[in-house]
């Protein structure tokens, strides 16, 4: 039984197992608001991916963003939270002590005593749902939608939960080593971006690869911008909310997030301008995403000047990384590996250089040795080990999941070439993204129209 009261200052006093815990309503409100901000990123990435594709596959990406959110919401309550944040976890993975969210309510969260575990749980659910959706974009234009529900459940359990556990659970091996990952450089972006590479290799190339058939423009640039707006907006909750309290560190994280996104967008757009002499909207949006990805691990550890460097370097490196698929011969339709895996790696390394104890300590209670700016040179080795482990583990496990599903009837992901040519929306959803109405039908007068009935036959035919 729990008992909830308020003290003289208005703070919540939650008594659980005869132990009182005091929480600030402002901290709880900020984390819950951040949870809602992160949720909007899921349809955001759906619109972003949808706009980049051909019209015949546009609806499938928006559908997958919502489907992934629903599947992981169940998985997280079922055992995902327990596997990631149980207090009796080992260095790699948790156990089932919190199966079905048993015991997750009023006690302090395992990461911060400033918020109750139920608030931390629902906030981290958004991270767990957003991460596989990044990877699922690699299935674009050539995958059955049904088996992807199974894939998402398995991937969240076998890939995201262990990596998040070793990074953020206080007993995880990276956490014990002193890794600095504020909001998900390795658990979110390196894991999902590397999974996208594994998916692209497993699926093979799309029909018409290497021909003019795939030299198409994004079918809806407005969707790309809209998706970027949702992502940018939600990222304030993604990074700022990771302070788990309404304080100066949260404000700094939000400021660094905005700076890195802005500079990343400008940098990518300028690199594209040198080739085509056009101010590319898609290029700006891609660069903004790269900047957001890179600043994610460092947003609560670095100052504003460093955030500018995060934007410049990520916008440059990720832009050139889009050419890797041509060199290596894989078909990553949405450049997810280049934006997220490479961007996450860049962010991890830059965090090791520019993390400062003064920035982390702006919340009043976090103490870290800092990075190279604070003469803590071992931080780079820790981040290199963390990044390499995340890349290796995600690639191997994602490949294993796909090939196990490949030999199970009904779970093979790759569609037949005929379905790919017709489009996933028609064959798998049977609902078009846009319901165009035939103009000729609309303009044809009704037979019950008295004006049309009184027309002379030749004029009626001419009018129709």
Q: pLDDT tens, 160-194?
A: 999 999 999 999 999 999 999 999 999 999 999 99
254 and 358 fall within a common domain: yes
393 and 455 fall within a common domain: no
- 67 domain residue, yes or no: yes
- 302 domain residue, yes or no: yes
The backbone torsions φ and ψ at residue 434, rounded to the nearest 5 degrees and listed phi first, read -135, 130
The span from the CA of 388 to the CA of 345, in Å, is 9
Give the pLDDT score at 119. Answer: 97
> Average pLDDT, whole number, for the chain?
92
305 and 447 fall within a common domain: no
Nearest alpha carbon to residue 242 among 256, 230, 228: 256
pLDDT band at 210 (very low <50, low <70, confident <90, very high): confident
367 and 464 fall within a common domain: no
- 110 domain residue, yes or no: no
397 and 444 fall within a common domain: no
Q: How far is CA 415 from CA 49, 405, 407, 411, in A?
A: 19, 14, 14, 11
Give the pLDDT score at 436. Answer: 64
The span from the CA of 331 to the CA of 147, in Å, is 21
380 and 265 fall within a common domain: yes
81, 111 contact by CB (below 8 A): no
194 and 229 fall within a common domain: yes
The span from the CA of 119 to the CA of 177, in Å, is 27
Q: Which domain holds residue 449?
A: 439-464
Strands 12-16 and 2-6, sheet pairing: antiparallel
Is residue 388 over pLDDT 60?
yes
Mean pLDDT of 258-282: 95
Q: How far is CA 410 from CA 109, 146, 426, 452, in A?
A: 40, 9, 19, 55
Report residue 80 as tokens: 């995902």
Residue-wise pLDDT for 104-135, tens only, equals 999 999 999 999 999 999 999 999 999 999 99
> What DSSP designation does 143 have?
B
- 111 domain residue, yes or no: no
Total number of domains constituting the chain: 2
The span from the CA of 20 to the CA of 26, in Å, is 18
Q: Give the rounded distance of the alpha carbon of 457 from its chain centre.
A: 62
193, 134 contact by CB (below 8 A): yes
Nearest alpha carbon to residue 194 among 348, 3, 59: 348
Is residue 439 over pLDDT 80?
no
Residue-wise pLDDT for 28-50, tens only, equals 999 999 999 999 999 999 999 99
321 and 449 fall within a common domain: no
- 8 domain residue, yes or no: no
- Residues of the chain with pLDDT > 70: what percent? 94
334 and 451 fall within a common domain: no
- 7 domain residue, yes or no: no
348 and 451 fall within a common domain: no
351 and 323 fall within a common domain: yes
Mean pLDDT of 355-364: 95
Nearest alpha carbon to residue 293 among 332, 252, 339: 339
Is this prediction's pTM over 0.85?
yes
- 368 domain residue, yes or no: yes
326 and 449 fall within a common domain: no
């Amino acid at each position: 039984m729990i008992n909830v009261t308020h003290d003289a200052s208005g703070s919540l006093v939650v008594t659980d197992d005869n132990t009182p815990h005091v929480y600030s309503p402002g901290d709880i409100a900020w984390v819950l608001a951040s949870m809602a901000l992160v949720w909007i990123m899921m349809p955001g990435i759906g619109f972003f991916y949808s706009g980049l594709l051909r019209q015949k596959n546009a609806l499938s990406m928006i559908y997958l963003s919502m489907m992934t959110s629903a599947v992981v919401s169940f998985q997280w309550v079922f055992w995902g939270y327990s596997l990631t944040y149980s207090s009796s976890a080992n260095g790699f993975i948790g156990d089932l002590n919190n199966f079905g969210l048993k015991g997750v309510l009023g006690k302090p969260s395992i990461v911060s005593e400033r918020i109750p575990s139920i608030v931390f749980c629902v906030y981290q659910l958004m991270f767990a749902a957003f991460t596989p959706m990044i990877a699922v974009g690699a299935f674009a234009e050539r995958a059955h939608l049904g088996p992807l529900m199974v894939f998402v459940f398995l991937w969240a359990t076998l890939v995201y939960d262990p990596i998040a556990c070793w990074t953020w659970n206080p007993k995880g091996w990276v956490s014990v080593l002193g890794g600095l990952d504020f909001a998900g450089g390795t658990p979110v972006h390196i894991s999902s971006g590397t999974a996208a590479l594994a998916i692209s290799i497993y699926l093979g190339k799309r029909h018409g690869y290497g021909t003019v058939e795939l030299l198409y423009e994004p079918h809806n640039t407005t969707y790309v911008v809209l998706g970027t707006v949702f992502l940018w907006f939600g990222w304030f909750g993604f990074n700022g909310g990771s302070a788990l309290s309404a304080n100066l560190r949260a404000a700094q994280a939000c400021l660094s997030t905005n700076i890195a996104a802005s500079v990343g967008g400008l940098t990518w757009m300028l690199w594209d301008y040198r080739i085509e002499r056009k101010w590319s909207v898609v290029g700006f949006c891609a660069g903004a995403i790269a900047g957001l990805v890179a600043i994610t691990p460092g947003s609560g550890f670095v100052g504003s000047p460093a955030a500018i460097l995060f934007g410049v370097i990520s916008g440059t490196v990720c832009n050139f990384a889009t050419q890797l698929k041509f060199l290596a011969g894989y078909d990553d339709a949405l450049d997810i590996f280049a934006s997220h895996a490479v961007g996450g790696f860049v962010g991890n390394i830059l965090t090791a250089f520019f993390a400062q104890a003064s920035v982390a300590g702006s919340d009043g209670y976090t103490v870290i040795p800092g990075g190279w700016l604070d003469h803590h040179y071992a931080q780079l080795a820790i981040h290199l080990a963390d990044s390499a482990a995340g890349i290796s583990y995600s690639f191997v496990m994602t490949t294993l999941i796909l090939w196990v599903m490949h030999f199970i009837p009904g779970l093979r992901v790759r569609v037949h070439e005929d379905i790919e040519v017709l489009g996933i929306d028609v064959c798998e959803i049977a609902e078009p993204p846009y319901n165009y109405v035939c103009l000729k039908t609309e303009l044809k007068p009704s037979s019950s129209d008295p004006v049309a009935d009184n027309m002379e036959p030749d004029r009626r035919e001419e009018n129709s």
